[in-house]
Structure 1
Amino acid sequence: MSTEEIDVLVVGAGQAGIAMSEHLTAHGITHLVLERDRVAERWRSWRWDSLVANGPAWHDRFPGLEFDIDADEFATKEQVADYLAAYADKIAAPIRTGVEVTAVRRNAGRPGFQVETSIGTIDARFVVSATGAFQRPIIPNVIPADAGIHQIHSSSYRNPRQLPEGAVLVVGAGSSGVQIADELRRSGRAVHLAVGPHDRPPRSYRGRDFCWWLGVLGKWGAAVPPLGAEHVTIAVSGARGGHTVDFRALAADGITLWGTATTFTNGVLRFASDLRTNIENGDANYLAMLAEADEYVARNGLELPEEPDAHLLGPLPSCVTEPAAELALAEAGVRTIVWATGFANDYDWLRVDTFDDRGRPVHQRGVSAEPGLYFLGLPWLSNRGSSFLWGVWHDAAYIAGQIAIQRGYLAHKAASRTVPVS
């Protein structure tokens, strides 16, 4: 076991850790990045086989390197992981893989932190938590583990072949939930999809991707989510070349839609009566963005093709207008539930006083309430783009600048003063 000293220790070698390394190097700051698995491991092993990025290659990347695919394509998960590994090599990021950080504690009586790892102790003046937001999969405590239903989180789903025969219920209608439900249905499965509150932007409109529209409309730079929308998911897909998520089309393809899953008793799962409200609110979000885009085009005199049909929404399916309140899983042949219900933080290794009563990091743009500790890769760290590949790069630039400022203060030595004799 060894002991060493480092100026800045970065925990995690995913997109956040690699971006952090680039900006620390630009400031001439010595640092070390520790990763318990491989570089960008979450992209490889915490995603289903057919996953692609939800933003086109021209947008979802770091400024210093383009993907080796068409700019308007959506990179596969392996292409994203390979891209990040190549970027780490390009910038010569000082990464050590296979090293787990087990505890970080503030030093007593001196600056910095004592970092315990699987290979020894490191004394670090600054620590950056770049482990991101997807740390601990959440499976709500609704259906007991002994209920005879195969239950997995979306992070453990790989493809339809891994699941037991029979129908599948997917809970959650964000990007993961709708894409998994669609893939399962296309494989021939009977599929049920529980739809909660969501935003539903157009994949593209008037010849431009929704990522472009969010940019020119100033929505990527929003500093806080709209009131009441802190946990609202975004139903968008890059699958099959990219398409707008349409719950009417999913229902027409044979997927049965339900409201939010609530309780389970004697083999029967019950749902809230919020399905129609959730669908209509998603529609309103979709139409509002089209209207903003049209206004932007007119105001700026752009020559972009009109899409009047994009504003036309078909009738709601019967499973929405006449929703059932409960589903007897065995009778419906449902043998598997895929919980696409998000993730929680896991900061057990950070033994410092910088969390609120719900275990969330207390910070301002990633600058922790604990001096010398920083967070990177969290949703809404500084704006709407913070948890996206390109957004984390810009957040890392800010945090590296803050570390450079603090190093400047610590390096300053007060000039000696001569006191005149009267």
Structure 2
Amino acid sequence: MTRQEVEVLVVGAGQAGVAMSEHLTNQGIHHVVLERHRIAERWRSMRWDSLVANGPAWHDRFPGMEFNGIEPGAFASKEQVADYFVAYAGMIGAPIRCGVEVTSVRRNAGAPGFHVQTSDGDYNARYVVAATGPFQRPVIPAVVPESSGLEQLHSSLYRNPGQLPEGAVLVVGAGSSGVQIAAEIQRSGRQVFLSVGPHDRPPRSYRGRDFCWWLGVLGLWDASTPPQGAEHVTIAVSGADGGHTVDFRELAEEGITLVGRTEAFDAGTMRFAGDLQDNIANGDANYLRLLDEADEYVERNGLDLPEEPGARVLRPDPECLSNPVRELDLAASGVTSIIWATGFVQDYSWLNVEAFDERGRPVQQRGVSSEPGIYFLGLPWQSRRGSSFIWGVWHDAKYVADQITIQRSYLQHDQQAAQPVGV
């Protein structure tokens, strides 16, 4: 069977794949990007209706193009983000083929490169970049059986309150997605219980600057590894309603009942860990620590930024925080739905190479895998804290393209050295 020849094959045309294509093009490297759906499809079909980006438009973008028709300090809607990547791909002339699913990648036997099987024929690629990102397979913990009669949705399938049956809702997970979904459902007139686990809680803005700016000038985006024990801690920050600092006490004042981390379900009763107070306190400490670092930066650099003493005033603890609910009879409480804002796991079942550890996680350093010729892009903490953000993946893609260029130079030298003298 004839295979299409390509030097670099990129799998996925989200933000990672588009960024990779730009840098490969700039290096003059022949490549193709295969996408099983549309460009940036996950922004369109795996997000709720009212989602906006968590970073302002001036920050959450690629260097080469600004958002069209959006104020720099505003937060782009999910459709505007997807449209941005479509426009960017057009601007750079990215060789993207949509509607093509990659089903298998295997190293060629006795020859360099990889045999790539797709829904549109086979490819022979010298290098392969897995740019499918971290949001591949939704995770719903095996806590509540399907036979419970409860409506259970992962946050990636939630669209709006109208799709849920009548009744109260338990939202599990208090990162950006869980918090925004819980608030939206509560505003629709339903009772909401929000299960809060460990989290970071930065200010949306402080002293007239967005938290994205503060993390930048304080060098926090460039942290190379997460703090010990915080590898999977979520960030509670929101761009909804023009952007605001997430305040769990305020959510409780508005009617949401906070509970601890979801632990178990038995005979209609949900049980929660006794960690709610600690989780909120640790989130507060993270919040106040960033304010301290920001104040020190202002003083050290002599900046004229307005003081904001009110930012340090915490609301009084609501009853659900002072006396946390440890057990909840779901039927008696009117709960008919559970939304699991519990994240995703990576799925590289199509990538049949020696590039993974015993838990199926990529073995890589800044995207360069343990399998020569295989590269990853879009992973959380791939090179720094900012790696999974739009601007961060662009910089990671440049590094990966540079590494491919280096490998090409070795091959070119080997080919030249193999030529007879005088040829």
In the superposition, the TM-score normalised over structure 1's length comes to 0.98
Partner of 2:261: 260
Task: Judge conservation of contact 1:205–1:290 (CA < 8 Å) in 2.
Answer: yes
Task: Judge conservation of contact 2:13–2:40 (CA < 8 Å) in 1.
Answer: yes
Q: Which amino acid aligns with 1:90?
A: M
- What SS class does the counterpart of residue 402 from structure 2 fall into? helix
1:58 corresponds to 2:55:
no
Partner of 1:239: 240
- What SS class does the counterpart of residue 146 from structure 2 fall into? coil
Partner of 2:354: 353
Partner of 2:417: 414
Partner of 1:372: 373
- What SS class does the counterpart of residue 346 from structure 1 fall into? coil
Mapping of residues 293-308 of structure 1, within 5 Å: 293-308=294-309
CA distance in 2, matches of 1:102, 1:51: 31
Residue 178 (structure 1) shift:
0.2
Q: Which amino acid aligns with 1:295?
A: E
Worse-superposed segment, 383-392 or 313-322: 313-322
Q: Which amino acid aligns with 1:198?
A: H
Residue 364 (structure 1) shift:
0.4
Mapping of residues 67-78 of structure 1, within 5 Å: 67-68=67-68, 69-78=70-79
Partner of 2:11: 11
List per-residue Cα deviations over 1:163-211 (Å, max 9, x = no partner).
1111000000000000000000011111000000000000000000000
CA distance in 2, matches of 1:417, 1:73: 62
Residue 232 (structure 1) shift:
0.1
In the superposition, the TM-score normalised over structure 2's length comes to 0.98
Residue 415 (structure 1) shift:
7.2
Task: Judge conservation of contact 1:374–1:399 (CA < 8 Å) in 2.
Answer: yes
Q: Which amino acid aligns with 1:209?
A: D
Partner of 2:40: 40
- What SS class does the counterpart of residue 165 from structure 1 fall into? coil
Worse-superposed segment, 347-356 or 1-10: 1-10
1:113 corresponds to 2:121:
no
Residue 315 (structure 1) shift:
1.5
1:251 corresponds to 2:252:
yes
Q: Which amino acid aligns with 1:191?
A: V
Mapping of residues 315-330 of structure 1, within 5 Å: 315-330=316-331
Task: Judge conservation of contact 2:135–2:345 (CA < 8 Å) in 1.
Answer: yes
Task: Judge conservation of contact 1:2–1:119 (CA < 8 Å) in 2.
Answer: no
Task: Judge conservation of contact 2:367–2:382 (CA < 8 Å) in 1.
Answer: yes
Residue 94 (structure 1) shift:
0.2
CA distance in 2, matches of 1:90, 1:257: 46
CA distance in 1, matches of 2:418, 2:130: 35
Worse-superposed segment, 2-11 or 149-158: 2-11
Task: Judge conservation of contact 2:250–2:315 (CA < 8 Å) in 1.
Answer: no
Task: Judge conservation of contact 1:224–1:380 (CA < 8 Å) in 2.
Answer: yes
Q: Which amino acid aligns with 1:169?
A: L
CA distance in 1, matches of 2:34, 2:311: 47
CA distance in 1, matches of 2:28, 2:419: 29
Q: Which amino acid aligns with 1:300?
A: N
* Percentage of matched positions with identical amino acids: 71
Aligned CA distance change for structure 1 residues 416 and 190 (closer, same or farther; 3 Å): closer
Partner of 1:402: 403
Aligned CA distance change for structure 1 residues 66 and 264 (closer, same or farther; 3 Å): same
Residue 72 (structure 1) shift:
0.2
List per-residue Cα deviations over 1:55-109 (Å, max 9, x = no partner).
0000000001000110000000000000000000000000000000000000111
- In the alignment of these two chains, the number of paired residues is 418
Residue 2 (structure 1) shift:
5.7
CA distance in 2, matches of 1:416, 1:217: 53
Q: Which amino acid aligns with 1:123?
A: N
Task: Judge conservation of contact 2:41–2:82 (CA < 8 Å) in 1.
Answer: yes
CA distance in 2, matches of 1:93, 1:2: 24
CA distance in 1, matches of 2:192, 2:248: 13
CA distance in 2, matches of 1:142, 1:116: 37
- What SS class does the counterpart of residue 42 from structure 1 fall into? helix
Worse-superposed segment, 317-326 or 135-144: 317-326
CA distance in 2, matches of 1:189, 1:274: 25
Partner of 1:24: 24
Q: Which amino acid aligns with 1:46?
A: M
Partner of 2:290: 289
Residue 34 (structure 1) shift:
0.2
CA distance in 1, matches of 2:411, 2:168: 62
CA distance in 2, matches of 1:138, 1:305: 43
Residue 321 (structure 1) shift:
1.2
CA distance in 2, matches of 1:384, 1:107: 35
Residue 221 (structure 1) shift:
0.3
Residue 3 (structure 1) shift:
2.1
Aligned CA distance change for structure 1 residues 318 and 2 (closer, same or farther; 3 Å): farther
CA distance in 2, matches of 1:215, 1:227: 21
Mapping of residues 206-217 of structure 1, within 5 Å: 206-217=207-218
CA distance in 2, matches of 1:209, 1:183: 23
- What SS class does the counterpart of residue 146 from structure 1 fall into? helix
CA distance in 1, matches of 2:363, 2:319: 45
Residue 129 (structure 1) shift:
0.2
CA distance in 2, matches of 1:161, 1:3: 48
Residue 111 (structure 1) shift:
1.0
CA distance in 2, matches of 1:94, 1:397: 17
Q: Which amino acid aligns with 1:182?
A: A
Residue 216 (structure 1) shift:
0.2
CA distance in 2, matches of 1:88, 1:49: 24
CA distance in 1, matches of 2:315, 2:92: 50
CA distance in 2, matches of 1:194, 1:2: 54
Worse-superposed segment, 4-13 or 316-325: 316-325
Task: Judge conservation of contact 2:202–2:236 (CA < 8 Å) in 1.
Answer: yes
CA distance in 2, matches of 1:353, 1:166: 49
Please tell me the root mean square deviation across aligned C-alpha atoms, in Å: 1.1
List per-residue Cα deviations over 1:371-395 (Å, max 9, x = no partner).
0000000100000011110000000
Residue 343 (structure 1) shift:
0.2
